[in-house]
Amino acid sequence: MKRKILFILALYTVNIFVFAQYSSGALFPVGTTGVSVKLETTPSLVTLTLAGPSNSYLGLGAGDAGMATGADGFIYNSASTTDYTFNGVGNTPSADAIQDWTIISNTVSGSTRTIVATRSLTGSAGDTTIPNAAGNLDVFVARGNETMNLSYHGAANRDYATLPMSLDPTLATGEVKADPTIYMMYPNPATETVHFKNIDLIKSIDVYETTGRKVKALKWKEGYIDVNDLKPGNYYLEITLKDGTLTYEKLIKQ
């Protein structure tokens, strides 16, 4: 009698995790500077919105010590650089060797310019790590005295603020079943490879540590990605679909 071998295909039910994202809320006007600021974070990125007079440079610094030596800052000005390190009060800040900020929007309405820029949560050496978590972030802002060139801003054009970061209710942590018409990811935990159903719908996959540091961009072939070179631990996969949808998957590497 011929032995029949029954192969059972295990169907993996995979959850797509929409991880917590935080925001400081609406644009926050800082003192009487005429500058407003907003911060938003995801597990991998921080988005800065800075609005102020269109005829002046606009700057944001991290911390409550002002332009102390070594403080990290973003400055939109007449130069092509935006990522800076301060050199002490009264001294011109220095452009960082690695420019981490990417301006994704620069609009002027009337006399107000609004800049939207993004970078990873950690940035590069010397940059301030911005956590994707609830809590208060101390910042300071400054604007040029009707000039786009880096120069003394004047006492009235600089002030401090504390931004209250809280869970964005429209982007709160949730868990939904993977729609098989979108994609499915398995196995998870994984040791060497992770397979995807409908991988042709995916534009790009980036891997981030839980700190927000980007590890690598993944390439795929024949429906799977190779994760063999990742160290054991927890990671986020930032998955961009070809229709522009951005989702996150938690990957456990064994």
Q: Where residue 223 sits, what CATH number does that domain have? A: 2.60.40
* Under 8 Å between Cβ of 233 and 251: no
- Are 223 and 195 within one domain? yes
Number of domains in the chain: 2
Nearest in space to 54 (alpha carbons), one of 23, 28, 77, 85: 77
The pLDDT of residue 150? 95
Q: Give percent helix, percent strand, percent coil of the chain, each to the nearest 5.
A: 5, 50, 50
- Are 234 and 141 within one domain? no
The residue range of the domain holding 145 is: 22-167
CATH of the domain at 125: 2.60.40.1190
- Are 61 and 138 within one domain? yes
- Are 149 and 189 within one domain? no
Exposure of 4 by Cβ count < 10 A (0-12 exposed, 13-18 middle, 19+ buried)? Answer: exposed
* Domain finish residue from 120, 135, 167: 167
- Are 192 and 74 within one domain? no
- Are 189 and 154 within one domain? no
The answer as to whether 78 is a domain residue is: yes
The answer as to whether 10 is a domain residue is: no
Count CB-CB contacts under 10 A for residue 127: 21
List, for the chain, all residue ranges whose pLDDT scores fall below the cut of 70. Answer: 1-20, 169-183, 211, 221-222
The answer as to whether 175 is a domain residue is: no
Read off the pLDDT of residues 208-240 as tens digits, 9 standing for 90 and up.
887 677 888 887 766 788 888 888 888 888 888
- Are 100 and 207 within one domain? no
The pLDDT of residue 11? 22
The pLDDT of residue 217? 84
Long-range contacts of 79-82 (CB under 8 A, 24+ apart): 79/150, 82/117
- Are 189 and 127 within one domain? no
Residue 37 CA to residue 138 CA, distance in Å, equals 12
Residue 171 CA to residue 18 CA, distance in Å, equals 8
The answer as to whether 9 is a domain residue is: no
The answer as to whether 6 is a domain residue is: no
- Are 61 and 153 within one domain? yes
Residue 98 CA to residue 159 CA, distance in Å, equals 27
The answer as to whether 172 is a domain residue is: no
The pLDDT of residue 165? 92
- Are 129 and 244 within one domain? no
The pLDDT of residue 241? 81
The answer as to whether 34 is a domain residue is: yes
- Are 28 and 96 within one domain? yes
- Are 38 and 138 within one domain? yes
The pLDDT of residue 188? 80
The answer as to whether 133 is a domain residue is: yes
